Amino acid sequence: MTTRVLTGITTSGTPHLGNYVGAVRPAIDASRAADTESFYFLADLHSLIKAQDPARTQRSTLEIAATWLAAGLEPDKVWFYRQSDIPEIPELTWLLTCVAGKGILNRAHAYKAAVDRNLAEGQDADAGITAGLFMYPVLMAADILLFNAHQVPVGRDQIQHIEMARDFGQRFNHVYGGEYFTLPEALIDDHVATLPGLDGRKMSKSYGNTIPLFASPAELKKLIFSILTDSRAPGQAKDTEGSALFQLYQAFATAEQTQAFARAYAEGIGWGDAKQQVFERIEREIAPLRERYQALVARPAEIEAILRDGAQRLRARYATPFLRQLRDAVGLRDLSSVTTVAVQATAKAALPVFKQYRHTDGRFYFKLSDAHGKVLVQSQGFDSPRDAGQQVAVLKNADSPEQLQSSAWALQVPTDQVLAALAALRQAATQV
């Protein structure tokens, strides 16, 4: 069986080395695995939750798309598309919104953190919080469920979102009584290193300690030389443990190269030499990517065409037919197909009915009437509702004039009319 692996790339900011080592490179390696169908998309609808500068949103989308292509993503082997080119995603978002528990969304980490911040500042709980932030997990669930992804490679901070996608998918399946959605699993790769930043903490935009992935060689060198090291002089042995420089090297080197670098540390390599080696190691891997990246960014129309082509094929292959099925599941249907149901409903409304009741004489009776209330059969009085019910059962099964002969009831219309009414009732019962 083919495993469908899907991941979204937030289109904000400029990619840095940490993104490359932690996300881009492993994802591209994984996309080459056999028996997987990979989906990579630019989550530009999600980006609007934070970024509301149109020119930057556009620029960022271009840069991130170019980054993935430059890093080796093959758009003819994987699905590579832009979220906003698939209108079925927001459409599915609404269908899921209508089964998603609000209480579950209340517990989403990002939303809760924003509420907690407000409360800590003595503000209204929801001050400055958009419904977009609140709905983030539903949109993300739609991204995943629309393509029935089996696995979603994400960072640990996203595990909760995958669990919510499972929850919404399951609720939909339950409410509409079908196996519409595959329930996705988060895929956490513990082997992927988190890259340290310039100050030794995790490389992250929020710490301002990043090295841009496509910095010029001169800037790359300058940044690497600014990495914090201890004050040991050349000739003094250095610790690899806890050395940001060493970890950076390791992320771009083979096992043997890393061992050799560790030996150089033990032998007291000077920090300047060590930094030069790290720069050269990284530059060797990044230089060809940088060149491709610059060529791509210079031809934005080509990237646009690649993205549109991906979305168009993907919609035809999965999204459009699946959404048609989902619309049908929830009852957003072609009205002309309602006729059969309506006819049945009218037929049902026109059916004769049995009624059991107690009369003022204290005895129990039943009667069979047609749809207009005209009485076809009137019973005699019985001592208990149970006795009346038993005779109803007998009459219901009568399908010959002989079987209609009984002292328990009296026909009010010709025999064949009663037989026809009983037959209609039995037929309707087998149809339900």
Which residues bind to ligand TRP, rule: CB under 6 A? 6-8, 10, 43, 46, 140, 143-144, 152, 154, 158
Q: Is 3 annotated as a binding residue?
A: no
Q: Nearer Cβ to ligand TRP, position 114 or 422?
A: 114
Q: Is 155 annotated as a binding residue?
A: yes
Residue 149 C-beta: closest distance to ligand TRP, Å:
8
Q: Is 31 annotated as a binding residue?
A: no
Q: Nearer Cβ to ligand TRP, position 140 or 164?
A: 140
Q: Is 11 annotated as a binding residue?
A: yes
Determine the Cα–Cα distance for residues 76 and 143; give it in Å rounded to an integer.
20
**What strands lie across the sheet with 3-10, from one edge to the other?**
79-82, 36-43, 3-10, 151-153, 185-187
Q: Is 335 annotated as a binding residue?
A: no
Place of tokens 């043997």: 256
Residue 92, H or E segment: helix 88-97
Residue 13 C-beta: closest distance to ligand TRP, Å:
11
Residue 158 C-beta: closest distance to ligand TRP, Å:
5
The answer to whether the CB of 61 falls within 8 A of the CB of 82 is yes
Note the helical H segments in 107-153.
109-120, 131-145
Residue nearest to ligand TRP (CB): 8
Residue 90 C-beta: closest distance to ligand TRP, Å:
13
Task: Name residue 410's amino acid.
Answer: A
Q: Whose CA is closest to 135, among 166, 108, 159?
A: 108
Q: Whose CA is closest to 128, among 52, 27, 186, 223?
A: 52
Residue 320 C-beta: closest distance to ligand TRP, Å:
20
Q: Whose CA is closest to 175, among 9, 341, 329, 350?
A: 329
CA angle 245, 158, 315 (to 5 degrees): 115
Q: Is 10 annotated as a binding residue?
A: yes
Q: Nearer Cβ to ligand TRP, position 143 or 167?
A: 143
Q: Nearer Cβ to ligand TRP, position 146 or 227?
A: 146
Residue 144 C-beta: closest distance to ligand TRP, Å:
5
- The structure tokens listed for 362 are 């204290």
Residue 258 C-beta: closest distance to ligand TRP, Å:
29
Q: What is each CA distance from 338 to 135, 266, 341, 429, in whole angstroms? A: 34, 80, 5, 21
Q: Is 143 annotated as a binding residue?
A: yes
Q: Is 132 annotated as a binding residue?
A: no
Q: Is 367 annotated as a binding residue?
A: no
Q: Nearer Cβ to ligand TRP, position 93 or 243?
A: 93
Determine the Cα–Cα distance for residues 283 and 222; give it in Å rounded to an integer.
12
Q: Nearer Cβ to ligand TRP, position 30 or 371?
A: 30
The answer to whether the CB of 153 falls within 8 A of the CB of 192 is no
Residue 83 C-beta: closest distance to ligand TRP, Å:
7
Q: Is 140 annotated as a binding residue?
A: no
The answer to whether the CB of 35 falls within 8 A of the CB of 60 is no
Q: Nearer Cβ to ligand TRP, position 166 or 275?
A: 166
Q: Nearer Cβ to ligand TRP, position 89 or 323?
A: 89
Q: Which long-range contacts does 372-379 make (Cβ < 8 Å, 24+ apart)?
A: 374/413, 375/412, 376/352, 376/411, 376/412, 376/413, 376/417, 376/418, 376/421, 377/409, 377/410, 377/411, 377/412, 377/418, 378/409, 378/410, 378/412, 379/408, 379/409, 379/410
Binding site listing: 10-12, 18-19, 143, 155-157, 195, 202-206
Binding site listing for ATP: 10-12, 18-19, 155-157, 195, 202-206
Binding site listing for L-tryptophan: 143
